[in-house]
């Protein structure tokens, strides 16, 4: 399981600040919510993004949650999961002042590395139609857009 690796990635960017990619922990939750708010990333505080729900997911073997920290501040995050045959990247966000510095690439690369080490050969992401910036990020990372796939959901509650 990847969490036993104790992985931490460091990178120098713009010759000024260190970026540390590390595993998300529940102590990061309040900062994560502030990051999502600040970055205008919609979330479901009464549903899947509740503190207890994310805490539950962290205990699952298929949860790959990482954060980027710059000078002690949460600058980005990504959630990844897998079902044993396909990996998923979700909730990628980088604070506006840290964008265009390679942080999104570092976060996605970390999820890809872990999924690859687990034998996952297909990695996908779902991006809502309004989020053109995320689409551009994933296109730059060589993800291929599929316009022939229709996404269906069935939700217990609208906030989930």
pLDDT bracket for residue 17 (50, 70, 90): low
Q: Which residues contact 101 (CB under 8 A, 6 or more apart)?
A: 13, 14, 19
For 88-134, write each residue's pLDDT tens digit.
Answer: 999 999 999 999 999 999 999 999 999 999 999 999 998 888 899 99
- Smallest CA-to-CA distance from 57 within 34, 25, 33 is with 25
pLDDT bracket for residue 16 (50, 70, 90): very low
Domains and CATH numbers, the chain: 2-140 (3.40.630.30)
Q: Cα(85)–Cα(121) distance, rounded to whole angstroms?
A: 7
**pLDDT of 30 higher than 80:** yes
pTM comes to 0.86
Main-chain dihedrals φ then ψ at residue 88, nearest 5 degrees: -130, 140
């Amino acid at each position: 399981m990847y969490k036993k690796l104790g992985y931490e990635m460091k990178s120098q960017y713009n010759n000024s600040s260190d970026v540390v990619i590390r595993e998300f922990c529940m102590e990061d939750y309040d900062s994560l919510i502030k990051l999502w708010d600040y970055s205008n990333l919609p979330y479901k505080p009464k549903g899947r993004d509740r503190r207890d729900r994310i805490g539950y997911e962290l205990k699952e073997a298929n949860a790959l949650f990482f954060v980027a920290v710059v000078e002690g501040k949460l600058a980005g995050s990504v959630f990844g999961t897998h079902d044993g045959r396909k990996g998923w990247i979700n909730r990628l966000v980088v604070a506006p002042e840290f964008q265009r510095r390679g942080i999104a690439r570092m976060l996605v690369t970390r999820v890809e590395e872990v999924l690859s080490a687990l034998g996952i050969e297909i990695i996908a992401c779902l991006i809502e139609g309004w989020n053109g910036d995320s689409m551009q990020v994933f296109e730059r990372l060589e993800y291929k857009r599929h316009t022939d796939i229709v996404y269906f959901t069935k939700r217990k509650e609208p906030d989930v």
